[in-house]
Amino acid sequence: MIAERLQELYAELPQGVRLVAVSKFHTVSEILEAYSMGQKVFGENRPQEFAAKAVQLPQDIEWHFIGHLQTNKLKLVLPYAYIVESVDSIHLLDAIEAWAERNDRRVRVLLEVHIGAEETKQGFSEEEVPSLLSDAAAYPHVDFCGLMGMASHTDDEEAVAADFARIKALLDRCRTDFPDLVHFRELSIGMSDDWRIAVEHGSTEVRIGTAIFGPRKY
């Protein structure tokens, strides 16, 4: 099943759109099944689960951390993460910079932007992002690689498209205004139910769980 679902996604995803297979709540053997199909990029959202899987699974997996990250959990995540997609506060960014300096590492990040209608969603407002990036020099151990967002949770495709259009416009504006941030180009938008709409709006990376692994088991 996993293999067939992956094949279908590979066939349909345009060149240049990376597939992050979101494996949260799924087992190591399910991840290995996807890995055996050539899938090397996986996403996890809970620090403990992420660290446990990362140490068991092949070293060449590119792990994307996509969940809310508390600063006391950095040491579970940063040693293994290729990128942290869910940087949602200055407090977290400060802690990442401090960890990276202490450990003589660089850390790739995406800034999570609150684009959906839900009030509880994490993330920076669209206004906060440019002012943060204008202060990028304060984070010499952080590579700002782009933006991540989640559209409103709704069947209204136009509302979803409008959310994605806004974050795409924000990415483009930041790239124009901050040309020195040479890595700032990724747009991580699109999940199982809305990735086709995201791709139409410039997604460079889709994060897909259910449509690969099936419903999550708790």
Ligand X SMILES: *Cc1c(COP(=O)(O)O)cnc(C)c1O
Residues interacting with ligand X, by CB under 6 A? 22, 24, 45, 66-67, 191-193, 207-211
User: Which CB atom, from 66 or from 92, has the smaller least distance to ligand X?
Assistant: 66
How many residues belong to the chain? 218
Closest CA to 214 of 53, 67, 4, 45: 4
d(CA 142, CA 78): 12
Q: Considering beta carbons, is residue 39 or 45 the nearer one to ligand X? A: 45
Q: How far is the CB of 175 from ligand X (least distance, A)?
A: 23
Residue 212: CB minimum distance to ligand X, A: 8
Is 196 within 8 Å of 186 (Cβ atoms)?
no
Q: Using CB atoms, what's the residue nearest to ligand X?
A: 209
Alpha-carbon gap, residue 201 to 199, rounded angstroms: 5
HSE-up of 13 (CA within 13 Å, CB side)?
A: 25
Q: Minimum CB separation from ligand X for residue 67, in Å?
A: 6
Residue 152 or 192 having the CB closest to ligand X: 192
Cβ contact 168:187 at 8 Å: yes
Q: Give 22 or 113: the residue with its C-beta nearer to ligand X.
A: 22
Helix (H, G, I), strand (E, B) or coil at 154: coil
State in angstroms the smallest separation of the CB of 121 from ligand X.
Answer: 10
